[in-house]
Homo-oligomer: A and B are copies of this chain.
Amino acid sequence: MKTIVNPPRSSWSKLTKRPVSSLDAIEDQLKTVFEDVQSRGDSAVLDYTNQFDGVHLKSIQVSKHEIEVAKTRISDSLKSAINHARINIERFHKTQQRESEVIETTPGVFCWQESRPIDRVGLYIPGGTAPLFSTVLMLAIPAKIAGCSEIVICTPPKKDGSVAEEILYTADLCGVTKIFKVGGMQAIAAMTFGTPTIPKVYKIFGPGNQYVTAAKQYALKYGVAIDMPAGPSELLVVADAVSNAQYIASDLLSQAEHGSDSQVVLVSLSLDKLVEVEAEVYRQLKELPRKHLASMAISNSKLICFDNKQNALDFINAYAPEHFIICNSDEEFFVNGILNAGSVFVGPYTPESAGDYASGTNHTLPTNGYAKNYSGVSLDSFTRLVSFQKLSADGLRNLGETIEVMAEAEGLFAHKNAVSLRLKDLEK
């Protein structure tokens, strides 16, 4: 771990930099896969699944039978945990629904917004060593609350052509309409264009490896929307002399076990505490099953000491962490002052894993400094706001001249005329 004490502001831009990953290297490959999936549809999808995943599938779509079998294989304790998380996530995301309020801006001029679901959405759920069924909860639940009519999952098949039972169980529980055994670039291309089997969607959500991330970015060219650009996961903890070093070390390690490129940062207002946390990290690390992955991320991590609270806050806002844990004697200062972060965890009993799984907040969050310009996924991500307006005859009388004067000043006479001929009628 690298320790830095009171870094000057001139060094912050370098200190807050994440590893750069660029589309350019795989752009040619993306082009090939996208064009191929666009022209050959399901056959191309099957070929790439064979080529990239080494799986020869007969059918892309998960069958009803596979889902029914999955339901019988999940333990009662896991079912009950998933259900507890589902209830909390539903509860929190339901409060994000917005009432439509009609505003009379000028007498007779009524304006309002109404929320509409994005009709068809695609959720990408990574495969790999661990079945990320928690991501199914985080994406499918708000999609369902929003009222999206088609909720599709694409997830890479395991070597035996199956999908993790936890994913199937959770997807079914949350009302996902179709599940496909397709991963990687070909999954993103399939949801972008649609194939005879996989529906075209309007927005694609979810995490993935660098190919998936690049493919989502590439898909923007073809008119589909995405949740947000993505990079490796991140955690920043702010501590001081009274913080519990054990707790903080466990949080830093839970971030580190995501992979060698995970970003782990401790900002401490006490150098003693910083040293104590570092020792505790190495002590806990030894006992972790994924210690190989975690130790690579830990060796790249930063421990930064500030002797001034405001400087610490300014640095954190410049870094814009995905996850931000306030484990510190002045919670209020950091809660009120944090401007750029994806999700904030307050107090000693709020580990990041609470929000990763079950507290109710979403875990799909902006990384890579994108917390400066993007929100994490919420109910809003699955809806659009449509604006409406209605003018009464009086409303047009009251607003008409304003519109005419402005349209004329912009040289748009047909815009003016649309008002003038109505006003003329009203004078009759």
Tell me the A residues contacting B by CB distance below 8 Å.
Answer: 23, 77-78, 80-82, 84-85, 87-88, 91-92, 95-96, 98, 101, 103, 105-106, 109, 111, 113, 116-119, 129-134, 166, 202-203, 217, 220-221, 223-225, 229, 246-247, 250-251, 253-254, 256-258, 284, 287-290, 294, 335, 338-362, 368-376, 378, 380, 384-393, 395-396, 399, 401-403, 405-407, 409-419, 421-422
On chain B, the residues within 8 Å of A391 by CB distance are 347, 349-350, 354, 359
Given the known inter-chain contacts A344-B386, A357-B402, A391-B349, please indicate yes or no for A288 contacting B414, CB distance below 8 A.
yes
Given contacts A106-B88, A415-B257, whether A406 and B78 have CB atoms under 8 Å apart is yes
28 residue pairs of the A-B complex, CB under 8 angstroms, read A23-B221, A80-B402, A81-B401, A81-B409, A84-B402, A92-B105, A116-B338, A116-B340, A118-B373, A130-B411, A133-B409, A202-B372, A203-B373, A223-B229, A225-B370, A225-B373, A247-B422, A250-B417, A284-B414, A287-B417, A290-B412, A345-B388, A345-B389, A349-B396, A351-B418, A359-B389, A359-B399, A380-B385
Query: Contact between A358 and B403 (Cβ–Cβ < 8 Å)?
Result: yes
The interface residues of chain B lying within 8 Å CB-to-CB of A92 are: 103, 105, 111
C-alpha gap A360/B287 in the complex (Å): 60
- In the bound complex, do residue A353 and residue B85 qualify as a contact, i.e. CB atoms below 8 Å apart? no
Complex alpha-carbon distance, A279 and B132, angstroms:
61
Q: Which residues of B contact A380 (CB under 8 A)?
A: 380, 385
- Chain A interface secondary structure, helix, strand, loop or mixed? mixed
Q: Say whether B373 contacts A410, CB under 8 Å.
A: no
Known contacts A95-B103, A343-B387, A421-B247, A409 near B349 by CB under 8 Å: no
Determine if A406 and B375 form an interchain contact, defined as CB atoms under 8 angstroms apart.
Answer: no
The CA-CA distance from A134 to B371 in the complex, in Å, is: 30
Number of copies: 2
Chain B residue contacts of A409, Cβ below 8 A: 78, 81, 131, 133, 166
Could you say which of B119, B338, B422 contacts A351, with CB atoms under 8 Å apart? B422
The reply to whether B166 and A390 form a contact with Cβ atoms under 8 Å apart is: no
**Chain B residues, Cβ within 8 Å of A401:** 81
**Contacts A372-B119, A391-B359, A396-B354; A406 near B81 (Cβ below 8 A):** yes
CA distance A166 to B407 in the complex (A): 12
Closest 5 pairs between A and B when the two form their complex, measured CB to CB: A105-B360, A88-B105, A81-B405, A351-B418, A130-B411
Contact B413 A357 (CB under 8 A): no
